[in-house]
Amino acid sequence: MTKNLNGHTLVCGFGRNGRQAVKRLQHHKEQYIVIEQDEKLIKAHEKEILFYKGTALSDEVLLAAGIQRAKNLICSLPDDADNLFVVLSARKLQPDIVIVSRVSEERNQSKLEWAGANHVIMPDKIGGDHMAALLTVPDLINFLGNLDWWKDDTSPNVEEVVLRQLPKKYQNKSLAELQLRERTGCNVIGYKDAEGNQHINPDANTSLSVQGKLIVLGTRKSIKKLNTIFQLE
């Protein structure tokens, strides 16, 4: 099965963070494979999760899991030194891969970035910030917490629109010309241009690069309409 994977995500480790990552990948219907060596853990979840048994510290295992054909790698091992080793190996084996790594201690963040991680996440820091925010801005946190969880057609959701994936008749247009709000009910809350610059609440006359991305906010129903009109025609 691993030979059939292409453009997939490698998830190294199936602990708490690895499980959360897999849940999100499944939600977005992304291809993935989990590298895990705990036999009990694999047997408990092998019916719904695609595993490759082994350690991500081994180049042979990374290669067997298809790292040279992979698009992303999530390194969620509990030990910072192990994550550092995997990041170094992954960057050498697949120079173009996007790497997201967990880190436990803040002093190790710069080392993982130096080793080649595109994004370094400290779960404990995020958790602490979230708990404090629940006390200081509770309504905002509750609103944000409801985003991306598709409970029903009226629940809020944030979606990323890759402009190069749109049909050609919708490319190289301005926001006003696309008429997203009028056609779908979705609101454009952000735009990332070809140079990587972020634009919050972009002006309607903003010219959209085909290499850019839009961040839109809408209900499940309006997001479905967006996908139908702009991506499936």
Residue whose token pair is 């779908």: 184
Q: Using one digit for the tens of pLDDT, what is the confidence trace for 57-69?
A: 999 999 999 999 9
Question: Do 153 and 220 meet the contact criterion of CB atoms below 8 Å apart?
Answer: yes
What average pLDDT score do residues 207-211 get?
90
pLDDT above 90: percentage of residues in the chain = 56
Question: Do 16 and 29 meet the contact criterion of CB atoms below 8 Å apart?
Answer: no
The CATH fold of domain 156-231: Alpha-Beta Plaits (3.30.70)
What average pLDDT score do residues 182-193 get?
91
Residue 196 backbone zone (phi > 0: left; psi -120 to 50: alpha; other: beta): left
Indicate whether 149 pLDDT > 60: no
Question: Do 174 and 207 meet the contact criterion of CB atoms below 8 Å apart?
Answer: yes
pLDDT above 70: percentage of residues in the chain = 94
Question: Do 216 and 187 meet the contact criterion of CB atoms below 8 Å apart?
Answer: yes
Question: Do 17 and 76 meet the contact criterion of CB atoms below 8 Å apart?
Answer: yes
Higher-confidence residue of 126 and 21: namely 21
- DSSP letter assigned to residue 30: -
Higher-confidence residue of 220 and 113: namely 113
What is the C-alpha separation between 102 and 98, in angstroms, rounded?
14
User: For the purposes of burial, counting CB atoms within 10 Å of the CB of 34, is it exposed (0-12), middle (13-18) or buried (19 or more)?
Assistant: buried
Nearest to 94 by CA among 120, 75, 126, 66: 66
To the nearest 10°, report the CA torsion of 101, 212, 6, 118.
Answer: -20
Q: Select, from the ranges 110-114, 195-199, 225-229, the one with the highest average predicted confidence (pLDDT).
A: 110-114
Indicate whether 110 pLDDT > 80: yes
Indicate whether 231 pLDDT > 80: no
Q: Using one digit for the tens of pLDDT, what is the confidence trace for 29-46?
A: 899 999 999 999 999 998
Domain ranges for the chain: 2-126, 156-231
What average pLDDT score do residues 43-61 get?
94
Indicate whether 159 pLDDT > 90: no
Length of the chain: 233
Question: Do 205 and 153 meet the contact criterion of CB atoms below 8 Å apart?
Answer: no
- DSSP letter assigned to residue 208: P
Higher-confidence residue of 131 and 176: namely 176
Nearest to 7 by CA among 25, 32, 34, 36: 32
pLDDT at 233: 44
CATH architecture assigned to 2-126: 3-Layer(aba) Sandwich (3.40)
